[in-house]
Amino acid sequence: MSEYSEHEVQREVTELETKSATAARLFDIRRVIGGLFVLYGVIVTIAGLMASDAAIDKAVGVNINLWTGLGMLLLGLFFLVWLKLRPTTPPTADADTPADGEKPTP
């Protein structure tokens, strides 16, 4: 039976924590939502730029694809900027300790 030294165990734990933090950032829902809204926003904006006069007349003179696409682009960029400014912090091993401002549970 092989025994592990304290140093090897600590190194392995640190490596796993790093991988967990990377996975938490990679699968943040804001990245998925922002990316999809930007992608669809680009597609709908292009459709709005290529809209025919008949399509615009059908929408009572409003180029609805253009405005909807621009709105989707803005929303997607909002999510991506939010992700950049407030990145996800992975949960710590001390989940039993209360956060700042919270009272400990008895």
Q: Report CA torsion sign: 97, 99, 105, 106.
A: positive
Structure tokens at 63: 């180029």
More confident residue, 86 or 3: 86
pLDDT of residue 24: 63
pLDDT in tens, 55-96: 899 999 999 999 999 999 999 999 999 998 988 776 665 555
pLDDT of residue 2: 58
CA 58 to chain centre: 36
pLDDT in tens, 26-56: 678 899 999 999 999 999 999 999 999 998 9
CB 34 within 8 A of CB 79: yes
C-alpha–C-alpha distance, residues 69 and 50, integer Å: 12
C-alpha–C-alpha distance, residues 63 and 53, integer Å: 9
